[in-house]
Structure 1
């Protein structure tokens, strides 16, 4: 059973320089109860895809093509009442900066009560905070956000996200603003609560080492498309797409003294229209002539879906055909 079904989704933003294409035809399925990590550089489109699932995009964003179903509801085609019900009953969001997600003028207990959607007793609020592994829930409930550490504030956001037992949790860079010493603890809390509620979890992140420990599947995004997706151990252990390999070589976290990280040369593309070729070609170390003239389409290579014309040793046949 699927909780998210995305087909050829195209989203653009209106800017002073014209329309910019953030999603260039995304195809994605998220199954019930699984944890999927969507990884990629800033500008790859992962946050746009995550926010689109709750139709939380800015006013300058527009869906130009494709379909996105969440919990069986076509997100971009339902009315406002159905959208509110979807956000209330199906979705839970954990945002990158907890201090931006919380109301600075309201005590934590009141904010948690509002997230629960009903009048709640103090002990019920404390119990929810305690489920999120906050050691002194009574003190936390009486506090304002600025009186909490970053890790505590993020656990409050997690508690609010699971308050109505959503079917889908979307965590956008949930540990990016936290110290390294508590990132694993917060992710552990989030994953434990996912297991308790039976929700699916989507993690949007650039931290490939972190998601390797927590995700069942991984989808790698570049240029507004998913360029490789499959089981986490297979994709990150033996990547087929050149961008996935480059992303792993550039990722900090597991290097040894004396090791050099290999930054990816160039910058992500700024698309103003449908990309007619491979968007990674200008930065790719193994690109061939066909990559500059042919738009790759998803195909199965080594037990995962890959968006590369050369993956799996297909380059000789394709270049000959070209």
Structure 2
């Protein structure tokens, strides 16, 4: 069976800055995949590229994105609108900004549903835990952040998309409503058989909720595999360093170990491993040889030394 989502060698530039430097990703039907990495790793650009929602200043220099076998980057405008409407759903970081400020919530839902029945709108709002009588007649600015994000989820899931891209959907919410909103997203997706690509900084939450994890660094997916394997026994030094620096994952009283140095700012293809300047295990070839995927256990890693570092990385992580 072909994957629902295939991203192959995707290269995206913003002016002179390179955001994606040959990113690869696979997502199967019904699968939940967490995409993690530091700010600037390319997560949001990858998520936007899946639906061809990149800003005008972005240039796709190479690579392919396929959703259910359709070449997203080659579709004509009418075909792209059909793909987004029938197969894709998106939930963004800022719920208020993602809604139409001039239109009541009920009308926005009716446009997505393609019907005018009030009962349909009420059902969509009820399944994300909202009071339809109150929310349907409200404008987005009259809602709290948590309520607005639930409306955005209702809009994204109204047509039961095959793939939902969620870009830090709880980033603007307080801790009390974060888990409830995520519960709604994953419950609706499970009920509809929808695959999820969840872009997140929250490694423990990703480990709890996702089947697989893709770790991004320097515009590439440097490690991917089952969530428990990637985050529990990392094969790439960056994954180990990222896991060790996650505040939510640290036991009380344990000092966090920040990833040393700074993320790269690429202006073209990285000649070797982009993590080499920050990597305690780097050797001479890491600076000049671009690593190819190496299979280690259940995961794939872009690391020249992945096969012989497993035990040491478990200690680091």
- The bucket for the TM-score relative to the shorter chain is over 0.9
Cα distance between partner residues in 2 of 1:137 and 1:21: 44
Q: Contact 2:294 / 2:306 at 8 angstroms: preserved in 1?
A: no
Could you tell me how far apart the structure 1 residues matched to 2:4 and 2:34 are? 15
Distance (whole Å) between structure 1 residues aligned to residue 164 and residue 133 of structure 2: 26
Note if contact 2:203-2:249 (Cα within 8 Å) is conserved in structure 1. Answer: no
CA distance in 1: counterparts of 2:197 and 2:129, whole angstroms:
21
**Which residue of the partner structure matches residue 36 of structure 2?**
39
- Corresponding residue to 1:308 among 280, 284, 303: 303
Contact preservation (8 Å) 2:91, 2:152: yes
Instruction: From 124, 133, 150, give the equivalent of 1:155.
Output: 150
Q: Report whether the alignment pairs 1:10 with 2:7.
A: no
1:76 aligns to 2:68 (yes or no): no
Q: Take 1:290 and 1:106, find their aligned partners in 2: how far apart are those partners?
A: 57
TM normalised by structure 1 equals: 0.93
- Aligned pairs for 1:256-267 (under 5 A) are 256-267=251-262
Instruction: Check if 1:112 corresponds to 2:113.
Output: no
Moved more, 297-306 or 103-112: 103-112
What is the CA–CA distance in structure 2 between the aligned matches of 1:169 and 1:86, rounded to whole Å? 13
Which segment drifts farther, 183-192 or 249-258?
A: 249-258
- CA offsets 1:81-119 (integer angstroms, 9 cap, x no match): 111111111100000110111122321111111222x23
Contact persistence 1:302–1:312 (CA under 8 A)? no
Q: Distance in 2 between matches of 1:120 and 1:130?
A: 17
How far does residue 314 in structure 1 lie from its aligned partner after superposition? 7.1
State how far apart, in whole Å, the 2-side matches of 1:256 and 1:201 are: 29
SS at structure 1 position matched to 2:35: strand
Q: Kindly report structure 1 stretches of 4+ aligned residues shifted beyond 4 Å.
A: none
Residue in structure 1 matched with residue 192 of structure 2 by the alignment: 197
SS at match of 2:171: coil
How many residues align? The count is 309
**Offset of residue 145 of structure 1:** 1.6
Offset from partner CA, 1:236-279 (integer Å, 9 cap, x none): 11111111111111111133443222221222111111111110
For residues 144 and 243 of structure 2, the distance between their equivalents in structure 1, rounded to whole angstroms, comes to: 31
Q: What is residue 201 of structure 2 aligned with on the other side?
A: 206
User: Any stretches of 5+ residues in structure 1 without a counterpart?
Assistant: 316-322
Q: For 1:140 and 1:260, how far apart are their aligned partners in 2? A: 45
Please tell me whether the aligned partners of residues 221 and 228 of structure 1 are also in contact (alpha carbons under 8 angstroms).
yes
88, 92, 97: which one aligns with 2:94 = 97
- Give the secondary-structure state (helix, strand or coil) at the position aligned to 2:73: coil
Cα drift, residue 21 of structure 1? 1.3
Q: Unpaired segments of 5 or more residues in structure 2?
A: 311-317
Indicate the RMSD between aligned Cα atoms, in angstroms.
1.4
Asked if the contact 2:35–2:199 (Cα under 8 Å) also holds between the matched residues in 1, the reply is: yes
Cα displacement (A) at 1:59 = 0.8
CA–CA separation in structure 2 for the residues paired with 1:54 and 1:140: 28
TM-score (norm 2): 0.94
